[in-house]
Amino acid sequence: MSLRRAVIAILLILALSACSSTQSKLKRVDTGMGFREVGHIMGRPNSSQTVKKDNAAYVLYRYDHRRCNPDLSFYERCDFFVIFKNGKVVDTITKNGQDYSPHTDALYLFQPR
């Protein structure tokens, strides 16, 4: 393989990996993961919020206005949430204009009162 082909192949791989959606990354986040593991997969959140309730610390990571699924629409944007309880993931949530799908009731803790 020539050097030129190798460089083109590397650039193509980098370009394709940059197009991965936040949705595909969120699918790799599993219950029980810690902050570092989630940060490694999802990157830095836009914001985070902490709430204490019943001797537990809940943390919400928000990933705002991120690419949903480039296979369906390159322009569609979604908000993604990861909820931790005592430093471990308990839920992941995707929110776009039509869908809002929490798996637990933990999100209500972060609603403004």
How many domains is the chain partitioned into structurally? 1
The answer to whether residue 3 is domain-embedded is: no
Separation of alpha carbons 71 and 53, rounded Å? 40
The answer to whether residue 9 is domain-embedded is: no
The answer to whether residue 97 is domain-embedded is: yes
Q: What is the pLDDT of residues 60-75, one digit of tens each?
A: 998 887 667 655 555 6
The answer to whether residue 30 is domain-embedded is: yes
Q: Given this model, what pLDDT does residue 72 score?
A: 54
- Mean pLDDT along residues 23-52: 89
How crowded is residue 26: how many other Cβ atoms within 10 Å of its Cβ?
Answer: 20
The answer to whether residue 55 is domain-embedded is: yes
- Domain with residue 98: its CATH number is 3.30.1450.10
Q: What is the DSSP letter of 17?
A: H
Q: Which domain holds residue 91?
A: 21-110
The answer, yes or no, to whether residue 38 has pLDDT greater than 90, is: yes
The answer to whether residue 10 is domain-embedded is: no
